[in-house]
Chains A and B, each alone.
Chain A
Amino acid sequence: MSIVTVQLGQCGNQTGHEVFSALCSDIRGTHGLCSKKENESYRDSCKERFFCEEESGVPIARAVLVDMEPKVISQTLSMAARSGHWKYNSHSHFCQKQGSGNNWANGYSVHGPRHKEAIMNLVQKEAEKCDRLGGFFTIMSMAGGTGSGLGAFVTQCLRDAFPTSFVLNHVIWPYGTGEVIVQNYNSVLTLSHLYQSSDALLVHENDVIHKICAQLMNIKQISFKDVNQVIAHQLGSIFQPTHAAGEGSGYSRNPLGDLMETLVPHPEFKLLGLRNIPQMPENSLAYSTFSWPGLIKHLRQMLIANAKMEEGIDWQVRPPHPGSSIPSTNKPLHFNTSIANLVILRGKDVHGVDLGSFQDPSLYTSWLNPQDAFNAWKTPRAFNKYEKSASLVSNSQFLLKPLDSIVGKAWNMFASKAYLHQYTKFGIQEEDFLDCFTTLEQVISSYTNL
């Protein structure tokens, strides 16, 4: 099954480019550490998912590039083409000239309706090229105007036009101390709207990735490209092919569907966080060895203690004792309760790995059986030169604090009515804001009371 990616706004397009680059580089690599047959199967599956074949043999990304100003798309298209290993379809993009001015209302209420037909035509074309459409993957930031506002509108359009397809939104949360002053407004508007039409929101926080770049990747002068490359690695670790149902079966055909099924049992809970270990500079890879038990232990504690990366994990945090009825208000504040988790293992000796610790019922709410709350996907094929790589996609309280922080700051600004005239100018009124705040306070409350 194929996935059509929609890259929205500057962040969406810059990140999307790194994602396809990473996927392509991974399948071209000879570090698969597995049999030739396995490698070929992996490569073919990845290609089917993300690329189209052209006569020249250069894979073409199954993507639609959307932006309201021309510079980023222009750069993105040429960078991809220059790589020589893959490219974008030269017609699969839509841009305008004036941008969205970091104004969600402009993106959603003005650009959205105005350009709906043109954008959806491009999406339709890409969808038709797929033998079997597995769903849509959108990449956007929520801080600006295009990715956020137009992105929310396009997501709605995707839902309306493809009611039976999966829509997964990859949303990048901005640095806490500003990239955009009205970022909290734009974020509140985006998240509340996406919650209505998206199947799940896969989140990356710039602050977290930045720390990974600084402390784990040892990058001195961190650029957005560095940040995007880490994000691309983490996304690749989720979306590259895996065997869903044990050794011997083929690569999973329906990655988005499988993801939704395992992780989103209830529409009130759509926020997915991502962790990937190990992460290190490429030139250190050759000198590092890891054991699966070690990786699993770390990943589990990262889950429980809500650690953002494998350094600085709080090992004191323990799950509550099974059997004791602790009301959620009395649970240790730093214990991260999960609804569902998915662990993805890639690389050497992957099939013998013991994941029992992730099935511990005390990690989860009581709604699902622990067997259903936890799933694992595996492949012996190593990813992106990491001999062993473990990823966790979690529907848990991971994003509760960051969400609460964003809503808090937005509310603070809203109470003073600052910047509201900029939104009402384009049709988003105070009542619309209030609705969005209500929606998100509901989400916060739901996740808090797990």
Chain B
Amino acid sequence: AVSLPFAVGQCGNQVGCRFWDLALREHAAVNKKGIYDEALSSFFRNVDTRSGGNGPDIYKGKICSLKARALLIDMEEGVVNEILQGPLRDVFDSKQLITDVSGSGNNWAVGHKIYGCQYRENIVEKLRKTAEHCDCLQCFFIIHSMGGGTGSGLGTFVLNLLEEEFPEVYRFVASVYPSGEDDVITSPYNSVLAMKELNEHADCVLPIGNESLFEIVNKIHQMINSGKLGSTVKQNSLVTSSAGSAKTLQEKPYDAMNNIVANLLLNLTSSSRFEGSLNMDLNEISMNLVPFPRLHYLVSSLTPLYTLADVNVPSRRLDQMFSDAFSRDHQLIQADPKHSLYLACALLVRGNVQVSDLRRNIERLKPSLHFVSWNQEGWKTGLCSVPPVGHSHSLLALANNTCVKPTFIELKDRFMKLYKKKAHLHHYLQIDGMEQSCFSEAISSLSDLIEEYNELDATKGGPRIDPSRLKIAV
């Protein structure tokens, strides 16, 4: 089953670039024979380039030329051009790119209304072409940031488009949320306007906080510098590294942060690509983690973020991995799930981990977590035999937890601070198709979402009254 990533905007494409690099490395490590297989086909086409680039797809046999199944969209050329000049240039072709020159000026309305309108047909056409090459399209991934103009505005426009054109294909979105200190003043406007779209049109959203990524990268940096990891850090093991060298960390901090997000996406799709004793597909993630349509925001944590050279990891270390997944250090967004309410939780494990390891750790961790009354045993689990490159195993935890509420409340507050003063509003309202009501509807949508979380939080700690069962006449 194929997953189709869309990278929209600067952030989206920078993450996307890391993602494709890591995906190729991962498949290269597993696929020793160079045969184009099912696993590869979920992200890559195999093209016969002898007839000059426009060759037909080859579905079986040796790998000829791999082309990523993707669409890269940016209203500036800088990032996409860099990709096309870099080591990944052969993985994409011009038919997958949609670019413009002037950017969106950090204005959601420019991205959504102007560019959306302008590029709609182009996007639909390229989307259809890409989809045609897919045997079975299961899921779309949008990778973008919320705070800017292109990723946020055009990205959510694409989201709408995907629902219209391919209503049955799942829509997953990896959204990078701006921090409070974001240097884009209008990022609250952009984010809230985008949130409305995510509320209404996404099946699953993985919110990611820049602050969290930054802290993770810093911690690793500190550990390397303090010599704690030192020479025992395995080559290629850093989740943050692109070239496998620790030095890269200092040169390109965003690369390191983007690598983390890229790894998130790789791990998320690992069980649908590779075999395991308990497979977990993306449609299963959506099914199990979204109890009510709008409550589809999932907090993710990833472990390990590095690994030591010790190959034979004893069971204690394995258990440590599970503990880490539930520690705030490993979350990709700042939140406090342990003191909030879990609606559902998924654990996707990779490597030589068996069902007993999974069960032992669930039993161990369960007592410290609060689950909603109607889902006391709400765990979805997956076991994938293939570990990520450089690690013997890894764990991705996805939580549907009311702990996202503070993030949304903060966002709302930042929005209201600007909106009350009507600061910078004219930049938006002057765009064709934008009205005051867009703003009021967006904030209303966010408020409703917050209210839904409030209602659930209110049930926390309350008396557990099981509803009475049906009575059968004997």
B355 touches A222 (CB 8 A): yes
Given contacts A101-B286, A180-B288, A181-B289, contact A418 B374 (CB under 8 A): yes
Contact status B375-A413, CB under 8 Å: yes
* A214 CB contacts on chain B under 8 angstroms: 356
Residues of B within 8 A of A178 (CB): 362, 377-381
Q: Is the CB of B277 within 8 A of A14?
A: yes
**CB pair B359 A69 closer than 8 Å:** no
Which A residues are CB-close (under 8 A) to B281?
Answer: 69, 98-99, 101
Question: Given that A98-B1, A214-B356, A419-B291 are known contacts, is A181 also in contact with B275, CB under 8 Å in the complex?
Answer: no
Contacts A178-B381, A421-B293 given; indicate if A98 touches B136 (C-beta within 8 A): yes
Binding stretch for chain B, among A121-129, A308-316, A436-444: A436-444
Q: Quick check: is A416 within 8 A (CB to CB) of the other chain?
A: yes
A219 to B354, CA, bound (A): 12
Bound together, the chains give a CA A213 to CA B277 distance in angstroms of: 17
User: Is B356 a contact of A98 with CB atoms below 8 Å?
Assistant: no
Which residues of chain B in 244-282 are interfacial with respect to chain A, using CB atoms and an 8 Å cutoff? 272, 274-275, 277-279, 281
Docked pose: A246 CA to B247 CA in angstroms: 79
Which B residues are CB-close (under 8 A) to A444? 472
B interface, over-half SS? mixed
- By a CB distance below 8 angstroms, the chain B residues around A213 are 356
B84 to chain A, nearest CB (A): 31
Q: Is the CB of B356 within 8 A of A97?
A: no
Binds B, one of A165-173, A353-361, A404-412: A404-412
Stretch at the interface among B13-21, B208-216, B331-339, B462-470: B462-470
Chain A minimum-CB-distance residue to B352: A221
- Residue A113 is within 8 A (CB to CB) of chain B in the complex: no
| One of A39-47, A223-231, A281-289, A369-377 at the interface | A223-231
A182 to chain B minimum Cβ distance, whole angstroms, is 6
Question: Which residues of B (358-388) have their CB < 8 Å from a CB of A?
Answer: 359, 362-363, 366, 373-381, 383
B373 touches A97 (CB 8 A): no
Do B284 and A225 touch (CB < 8 A)? no
A416 to B359, Cβ gap below 8 A? no
Q: When chains A and B are docked, how far (Å) is the Cα of A75 from the Cα of B278?
A: 13
Contact of A422 (CB < 8 Å), options: B275, B290, B315: B290
List B125-173 residues whose CB lies under 8 Å from chain A. Answer: 135-136, 138
Task: Give chain B residues whose Cβ lies under 8 Å from the Cβ of A222.
Answer: 354-356
Q: Out of B279, B379, B472, name the residue touching A10 (CB < 8 Å).
A: B279
Asked whether, in the complex, the Cβ of A409 is within 8 Å of the Cβ of B284, the reply is no
Q: How many residues of B contact A (CB 8 A)?
A: 50
Other-chain contact of B379, A72, A177, A421 (Cβ < 8 Å): A177
Is A176 in contact with chain B by the CB < 8 A criterion? yes
Q: Which residue of A lies closest to B134 (CB)?
A: A97
Q: Is A176 a contact of B355 with CB atoms below 8 Å?
A: no
B474 interface contact, C-beta 8 A: yes
Determine whether the beta carbon of B277 is less than 8 Å from that of A223. Answer: yes
Partner of B279, one of A71, A175, A176, A445: A71
Give 1 or 0 for each of A85-110: 1 = CB within 8 Å of chain B CB: 00000000000111111110000000
Known: A96-B136, A411-B467, A412-B374. A101 touches B283 (CB 8 A): yes
Chain A residues with CB below 8 A from B466, complex form: 408, 412
Nearest Cβ on chain B to A33's Cβ, whole angstroms = 33
Residues of A within 8 A of B82 (CB): none
Q: Interface residues of A toward B: which range?
A: 35 or more
User: In the bound complex, what is the Cα–Cα distance between A223 and B286 (angstroms)?
Assistant: 26
Residues of A within 8 A of B293 (CB): 421
Tell me, yes or no, whether B48 is within 8 Å of chain A by CB. no
Shortest Cβ gap from B383 to chain A (Å): 8
Cβ distance A432 to chain B, nearest Cβ, rounded Å: 15
Complex interface: chain B residues within 8 A of A10 (CB): 278-279
Interface centre among A70, A408, A412, A445 (most CB of B within 10 A): A412
In the complex, A431 has a CB within 8 A of chain B? no
CB distance from B136 to the nearest CB of A (A): 4
A349 to B245, CA, bound (A): 69
- CB neighbours (8 Å) of B275 from chain A are 71-72, 75
Most central of A176, A407, A411, A417 by chain B CB within 10 Å: A411
Chain B CB within 8 A of A118 CB: no
Q: Are A177 and B377 in contact (CB under 8 A)?
A: yes
Q: Which residue of B lies closest to A415 (CB)?
A: B467
A266–B108 CA distance with the chains assembled, in angstroms: 67
B377 with A416: CB separation less than 8 A: no
Q: Please report which residues of chain B, range 10-63, place their CB below 8 angstroms from some CB of chain A when the two chains form the complex.
A: 38
Inter-chain contact B287/A103, CB cutoff 8 Å: yes
* Chain A min CB distance to B170 (Å): 9
**CB nearest neighbor in A for B381:** A179
* B344 close to chain A: CB less than 8 A: yes
- Asked if residues B374 and A175 are in contact (CB atoms below 8 Å), the reply is no
**Closest approach, in angstroms, between the C-beta of A117 and any C-beta of chain B?**
20
Whether the Cβ atoms of B467 and A210 lie closer than 8 Å is no
Known: A99-B283, A412-B374, A418-B292. Contact between A181 and B379, CB under 8 A?
yes
Contacts of A25 in B (CB 8 A): none
Instruction: Say yes or no: is B357 at the interface (Cβ < 8 Å to chain A).
Output: yes
Closest residue to B42 on the A side, CB-wise? A97
Please tell me if A449 contacts chain B, counting CB pairs below 8 Å.
yes
Instruction: Check B287–A221 contact: CB distance below 8 A.
Output: no
A412 touches B288 (CB 8 A): no
Q: How far is the CB of A10 from chain B (nearest CB, A)?
A: 6
How long is the Cα–Cα vector from A224 to B375 in the complex, in angstroms? 24
Instruction: Give 15 CB contacts A-B under 8 Å.
Output: A97-B135, A100-B283, A102-B287, A177-B362, A177-B366, A178-B379, A181-B380, A210-B356, A213-B356, A214-B356, A221-B354, A411-B467, A411-B469, A413-B375, A444-B472
6 closest Cβ contacts across the A-B interface? A101-B283, A97-B136, A178-B379, A222-B356, A418-B291, A415-B467
What residues of chain A have their CB less than 8 Å away from a CB belonging to chain B? 10, 14, 69-72, 74-75, 96-103, 145, 175-182, 210, 213-214, 219-227, 407-409, 411-413, 415-419, 421-422, 437-438, 441-442, 444-445, 449
Known A-B contacts: A415-B467, A417-B292. Give 7 more (CB < 8 A): A10-B278, A71-B275, A98-B138, A176-B377, A181-B380, A409-B376, A445-B474
